[in-house]
Every structure is written in C-alpha cells, then in structure tokens.
Amino acid sequence: MSFRFHLEQIDAAVDYLDEHLSASVICFDGPMGAGKTTLISELCKKWKVTDTVSSPTFSIVNHYESEIKGRLYHFDFYRLNDINEALDIGVEEYLDSENYCLIEWGERISPLLPHKRSIVKIEVDEDQSRTISIVSI
C-alpha cells in the first residue's frame, strides 16, 4: 500500500495513515527532511492531541494526550549515541504500555522494537512530493 501526495495535501495523507495503521508502535522511516515530524504533528491534530506537538530531538520523548487515542509518546532517536540511552529513559516500558508510540529514527533502536509494529516509509519524489507506504510487521 502506498499513497503519493504534495505537502498541501497532507490532510489526505494523514487520513490514509489513520485508516491503514494497524499497530500502536509506529516507526516513521525516511531521510532527513522527508517530513517525519510534520506527518506526526498532523496525525496528532487529527487525533485531537491537546498538547503542543514538537520534535523531541533533544528530550528523546514527548508525552501527549489525545481526546481520541489517549496517551501518546513521540520519540526521536536521531541524536542517540548508544542504544543504552534508550534503555536509560525506559523505552521498553513505553513500548510495552499499549499506548501509541510514534517513533522517528526507530532503526537506531531496532533490537528493542516489538515484533508487532507499523513502519511508515517516506520517500521524497523528484517533484518534491512524498510517497508513503505502510509495512505492518
């Protein structure tokens, strides 16, 4: 399954994600600048998150409350130097919580990820549109 969109059509992309995501742990995979944080922010809007959504680049994890999905966790592992840093923040407890975990740069903690998860792959096309595809494991 894949969906191609231009940034001004991001609402349609978020609707697509909301309809097709099948796990509570969701990894957003794409190159720097592909729009991982933007997609997560827009998904959080759709899910009526009451908190301000921002990239947890330095804090590693942000907690949000959603009127629709309950508690959400947003991770950004880009600046992770070692997988032990993820263990130090208790990432396994978050992942096992059954709350939604929206993860940027999840490949940096791949040994810790649960077997059941969704991966949203984001590709930047030549015309700067995006193609997203969802892989459920």
For the stretch 15-35, pLDDT in tens is 999 999 999 999 999 999 999
pLDDT attached to residue 59: 87
CA–CA gap between residue 5 and residue 11 (Å, rounded): 10
Per-residue pLDDT of 84-105, as tens digits, reads 999 999 999 999 999 999 999 9
Structure tokens at 92: 């396994």
Tell me the average pLDDT across 60-84: 95
The token duo for 114 is 């649960």
Give the per-residue pLDDT at 112: 97
The 3-state DSSP class for residue 28 equals strand
Indicate the pairing of strand 130-136 with strand 118-124.
antiparallel
Q: How many domains are contained in the chain?
A: 1
57 has pLDDT over 90: no
Range of the domain at 101: 2-136
| pLDDT for position 68 | 95
pLDDT tens readout for residues 35-45: 999 999 999 99
Six-digit token string for 35? 């729009």
Mean pLDDT of 43-71: 93
Please tell me the predicted confidence (pLDDT) of residue 55. 87
DSSP string, 95-106: HHSSSEEEEESG
Beta bridge partners of 61: 75
What CATH number does the domain containing 106 carry?
A: 3.40.50.300
